[in-house]
A and B are shown apart, each in its own frame.
Chain A
Amino acid sequence: MNLCDLTATELLDVFRSGTASPVDAVKSCLRQIEVLDRDVNAILTLVEERCLEKAAVSEQRWRVREPRLLEGIPFGVKDVIQTAGVRTTGGSKIYGDLVPTESAVAVQRLEAEGALLLAKTQTYEFAVGDNSHYGPTRNPWDLGRSTGGSSSGSAAALAAREMPLAIGTDTGGSIRIPSTLCGVTGLKPTFGRVPRHGAMTLSWTLDHVGPMARSVRDVALMFKVMAGYDARDPTSIQLEPSHTEDSFNVGVKGIRLGVPKDWFFELIDPAVESSTSDALAALEEEGAELVEVRLPNAHLSEAIGWTIIYAEAASMHESTLNRLDEYSAPMTQEFFANAQFVSARDYLKALRTMHVIQSDFQQAFDTVDALVVPGVVATAPRLDDMVFQIDRKPFPWGDVVARLTLIFNIAGLPALAVPSGMTDAGLPVGIQIAAPPLREDTCFRIGHTYQQITSHHLQAPPVRTDQRLWTSGFGTSAGK
């Protein structure tokens, strides 16, 4: 077992025992990146020297027994999030030379607790479209396939064991989609829970910053550090997060899990449906009660979400909209071209109808504690066509990618993506666990219990620094 294979929680135990140090851990991650990232392309900017210097400081703090919460744990940051002294491109050549003087609040908080910025990770250009300029990020489970996005690099780097923790952003599913397709764990917190100051805005109504890792326990640890009020984000919530530690080792006995069949199960691949059913059965076996619930207006969620994202993104990027040809990614160019033609009336209707979706959820939460639904409609599409195969029928990426995730951005609910298995083709699938606003602890409780009784989150792609199975830089689907 290499240090890079360990979760953050396991690394902290190792540091505490003195059998390895933060410098050892950083070097292990760097070695993994050196060997694998030529193929995966999860890393946009490596912060090697600074990270090793800070790791030496962390090592000293462990030596004198003054560790902070995340002392010596390497982490990555999606490149739409600002990092002081380290370039922040937004995945675009337009900002290819931008070096911020201040880090985003989420980054500052992680570093203040001893975490070590190791790398900026790949992102779709401005968190939407694709990432042509810096090259596609390849799914570590199959290099011919997409990671999904837009937090592509964060998810791929975690899956490839290049780092134990990463930050992502999520406007319509951009933490949960790549987490699901890469087999890692990621949280979209309650809207306003993690301050967004320092993250490039796509949609101020729907943007979230959140933690990604390889276990619920690690995600909860990151969340504990990242969450909390900051006046520079006007939507930041002035409430302390509930005690996440209370979520662990209490199980799910007596908890009521809602299963909304009417939207989330209408258009999904049988492999995803089967895996979700298995997950529900496993939780029921642990004492949870399954209750069917309805979300009668869920069919409005895509119109609400995309109308808001289009309108707000066009506003945010108005200074560069006449330079669409300078945007690197064709899908991003297309998105911003479309975004300019949303009427004020439609935008405001979408904003006003958000609460209708919330009312549906509130009625569901009158009878259940949380919802468990599929993560993404199908497994990762091939990079060369970006088509989802749902029950062997093709669906273009953009048509269905956010179908199961965007609704939680609209409602502002916490939603946790958790791996729930592998298909026969060796590709990850996952579930989402959603809870009422401010109840991340409920997501953690259910997700952690699930990870205690299953091993899906521990599955690693078939690559190792000492046993490189990839021979040509392409996975099993390449050339088919």
Chain B
Amino acid sequence: MSSGPTLKTLSTIATDLGIKMTDARLAAAAVAHAAFRPKLDELRRFNLDFLSPLEPGHAYQWIVSGGVQQTDRGGADTH
């Protein structure tokens, strides 16, 4: 479980992206990302299959097909 990006990390990213943000706004963003981190960590821990990969396009394909399965089990990888 990680704690989220530090203020210094966010500041470095913002500078690299050419984004100007006040220290207060960066600090608020750090707090928000720290609060979000447990949910994000759950997503990161969820394994997706390498040999039968899910791609972003599968979601739209499933919708257009009326909800017919595109993959055999939803993509989790137990390895």
Contacts and interface: CB of A to CB of B under 8 A. Distances in A.
Interface of A: 190-192, 205, 235, 237, 239, 297, 299-300, 302-304, 306-307, 321-322, 324, 333-334, 337-338, 340-341, 346, 348-356, 358-362, 365, 399, 410, 412, 436-439
Given A351-B56, A437-B63, A300 B19 contact: no
A337 B74 contact: no
A468 to B, nearest CB: 41
Given A324-B21, A359-B69, A362-B67, A346 B43 contact: yes
A341 B73 contact: no
Given A307-B40, A346-B44, A349-B44, A190 B63 contact: yes
B19 A358 contact: no
A334 B64 contact: no
Given A365-B67, A436-B67, A356 B74 contact: yes
Interface string B4-43: 0100001001100111110001101100110110011011
A300 B59 contact: no
Contacts of B19: 321-322, 340
Contacts of A239: 64
Given A349-B43, A352-B54, A359 B74 contact: yes
Contact of A337 (B28, B54, B75): B28
Nearest to A356: B74
A192 B60 contact: yes
A299 B39 CA distance: 8
B40 A356 contact: no
Contact of B64 (A192, A302, A355): A192
Contacts of A354: 56, 58-59
Indicate the size class of the contact surface on chain B: 35 or more
B24 to A, nearest CB: 10
B70 interface: yes
B65 to A, nearest CB: 8
30 contacts: A191-B63, A192-B63, A235-B60, A237-B64, A303-B40, A321-B19, A322-B19, A334-B29, A337-B25, A338-B32, A340-B17, A341-B5, A341-B13, A349-B44, A349-B48, A351-B59, A352-B48, A352-B53, A352-B58, A353-B43, A353-B46, A353-B48, A354-B56, A354-B58, A355-B62, A355-B70, A356-B76, A358-B63, A362-B69, A412-B59
A437 B70 CA distance: 14
B36 to A, nearest CB: 7
B46 A300 contact: yes
B40 A346 contact: yes
The 10 tightest CB contacts between A and B, nearest first, are A359-B74, A351-B56, A303-B43, A354-B59, A303-B39, A412-B63, A436-B67, A355-B58, A356-B74, A437-B63
B71 interface: yes
Contacts of A352: 48, 53-56, 58, 75
A363 to B, nearest CB: 9
Contacts of B54: 352-353, 355-356
